[in-house]
Amino acid sequence: MIFDTLKDVEEFYKSYAHEVGFSVRVGQHKKGNEEILIKRYYCSREGYRKENVPNASDESGKKRKTHNVMETRCGCQAHIVVKLGSDKKYRIISMVEEHSHGFVSPDKRHLLRSNRRVSERAKSTLFNCHKASIGTSQAYRLLHVSEGGFENVGCTKRDLQNYYRDLRIKIKDADAQMFVAQLERKKEVNPAFFYEFMVDDEGRLVRVFWADAICRKNYSVFGDVVSVDATYTTNHYNMKFVPFTGVNHHLQSVFLGAAFLADEKIESYVWLFETFLKAMGGVAPHLITTDEDASMKAAIAQILPYTAHRLCMWHIMEKVPEKVGPSLRENEGFWKRLNKCVWGSENSDEFMSQWNSIMTDYGLMENDWFSSRFNIRESWIPVYFLDIPLAGMLRTTSRSESANSFFNRFIHRKLSFVEFWLRFNTALECQRQEELKADNVSLHTTPKMMTPWPMEKQCSVIYTHEVFSKFQEQIVVARDHCIVQGIEECEDIKCFTISSLSRKERVVQMNKTNMFGRCSCKLYESYGIPCRHIIQVLRA
């Protein structure tokens, strides 16, 4: 037989081997004038493997690790040898067809090594799965289903895992450069994409921040209250992932930008907040919530002196189970009282009374952790920052859990920058798709009215469905439980005393000139929607 290239020879012998039921190993060759003159191809069970010396040492004297590898060779003589002729074509000059072993049955041929390869389809599936934070094992199962069986995949799960391992090794030394190059390409496509980075004296990436055009637009609309969370698991290089998050008009968490930092020093956070302000046109948020980090606190005081700084309640409350004994951990009464105290106190006196009662009843007066949380109560208990506009937007546990779940989907210690970027972009697209879906629902559907009041109908058009649902809760309570107990007038201000289901009286001060009302419950100031008490006054 005559072949144009060695590739043709190899494909021929592998096809022949597949039909017969054995695997091929590429052998030695002889070169001359930069051309391969003679090439050998063997049955994979040809010859015998050299024996490893147990506990052998390398040149440094250290013992080499030995692995228990299953023996496959048995001295089989089957092979072909090809030689390059004067016409530059290869011809078979030697062929042994007889094997000294049995052949693989047809249902196992796909497992032969020479018949296996990671196809372009498998690579594409693996790539898309990792974009969606789906691991290699799950990607292989997906290939099994989509290709109609393992025999049609073309490779084993181990082959796919090895391919991904080798790919990671290949990009390892250029990972940071590839990541920054991706950011630069984003900026080339859309100049509104913002990023900045820093490298150390050895050229290693130590700080990077980015925010795309949508992040910057969202900040201009939803940037009054911002959460900065530096508690996420670091990446492959032990760099801390620090996302900036806000709340949109559907009460959804919205991504505003993010950074990777090599350390948590004050100067790193100073750089971060300076860069964030630069990206956002120098406009600082009214309120910023963070975890308990002294370096971040110092940086905020330096760069954002006029921004109110509060601690994330969710992170603090998440630590409670480890700070109490097993009995309290499972005590429903304790949790009910603590949550009511922390989340539901309506003034500082009420909080102090409930807190002291809980500490006394459950023997926590001497607990150092609870004592330290009490000492910084003005930094995390909502009742102490009701006057800060929209501070209530970030206080809900469900929203903090949602944001935490979102970011944890694509952050863990094994990820390289390139792997992170693939997963991150896919997750961000999903988050933004949810906002589009909510926009569509609010634009093209109408919520059911609970009262005949004109203000309810008007607000159903003004608010998104999610915000209107919160407003409607206040409407229903105002209708069923709020009563005007008294009215006093003082020049342009009319004061209404309102009682409700909680039996607490609230005072609503209504300006008779512009009809703007303020309530002592401060729901409007902290959350942005009129409370039940103001609603009742407007109806009166």
What's the chain's average pLDDT? 86
Provide the greatest CA pair distance for the chain.
114
Q: Domain for residue 346, yes or no?
A: yes
Q: In this predicted model, which residue has the larger pLDDT, 171 or 188?
A: 188
Residue 459 domain-assigned (yes or no): yes
Asked if 435 contacts 250 with a C-beta cutoff of 8 angstroms, the reply is yes
Domain check: are 132 and 100 in the same one? no
Do 113 and 103 meet the contact criterion of CB atoms below 8 Å apart? no
Confidence of residue 18 (pLDDT cuts 50, 70, 90): confident
**Contact in structure between 499 and 521 (CB atoms under 8 Å):** no
Does residue 61 belong to any structural domain of this protein? no
Q: What angle do CA 75, 80, 82 make, to 5 degrees?
A: 145
Last residue of a domain, one of 379, 399, 422: 379
Q: Which of 431, 466, 491 is the last residue of a domain?
A: 431
Tell me, yes or no, whether 447 lies in a domain.
Answer: no
Task: Tell me which of 75-79, 162-166, 186-190 is least confident.
Answer: 162-166
So what's the pLDDT on residue 409?
Answer: 64
Same structural domain for residues 260 and 184?
Answer: yes
What percentage of residues in the chain have a pLDDT greater than 90? 51
Q: What is the tens place of the pLDDT at every residue in 361-400?
A: 999 999 999 999 999 999 999 888 888 877 776 555 445 5
Instruction: List the Cα angle 250/130/421 in 5-degree steps.
Output: 65
Q: Is 58 contained in some domain?
A: no
291 in the same domain as 200: yes
Separation CA 28–CA 39 (nearest Å): 6
For residue range 190-229, what is the model confidence (pLDDT) as tens digits?
999 999 999 888 888 899 999 999 999 999 999 999 999 8
Q: Answer for the pair 24, 41: CB distance below 8 angstroms, yes or no.
A: yes
Whether 10 and 109 map to the same domain: the answer is: yes
pLDDT digits (tens, 9 = 90+) for 270-326: 999 999 999 999 999 999 999 889 999 999 999 999 999 999 888 899 899 999 988
Residue 446 included in any domain: no
Q: For the chain, how many structural domains are there in total?
A: 5
Alpha carbon distance 516, 537 (integer Å):
11
pTM of the model: 0.74
Q: Which domain holds residue 368?
A: 316-379
Same structural domain, 189 and 242: yes
Of 462 and 165, more confident: 462
CATH number, domain of 234, equals 3.30.420
Q: Which bin fits 251, alpha (ψ -120 to 50), beta or left (φ > 0)?
A: left
**Same-domain check for residues 296 and 397:** yes
Asked if residue 362 lies in contact with residue 336, where contact means CB atoms within 8 angstroms, the answer is no
DSSP character at residue 46: B
Indicate whether 440 belongs to any domain. Answer: no
- Does 528 lie in the same domain as 473? yes
Specify the DSSP element, H or E, that contains 166: helix 157-172
Q: Bigger pLDDT: 483 or 401? A: 483
Instruction: Tell whether 336 and 413 lie within a shared domain.
Output: no
343 and 492 fall within a common domain:
no
How large is the angle between the packed helices 465-481 and 417-444, nearest 10 degrees?
A: 50
Q: How far is CA 283 from CA 215, 286, 306, 311, 442, in A?
A: 14, 9, 11, 21, 29
Q: Are residues 149 and 193 in the same domain?
A: no
Q: Which of 172, 191, 212 is the last residue of a domain?
A: 172
442 part of a folded domain: no
Q: Assess whether 289 and 409 both reside in one domain.
A: yes
pLDDT, greater one: 341 or 150: 341
In a shared domain, residues 160 and 149 = yes
Question: What pLDDT digit, counting tens, does each position of 64-99 carry?
Answer: 555 566 777 888 989 999 999 889 899 999 999 999
335: Cβ contacts below 8 Å, ≥ 6 apart: none
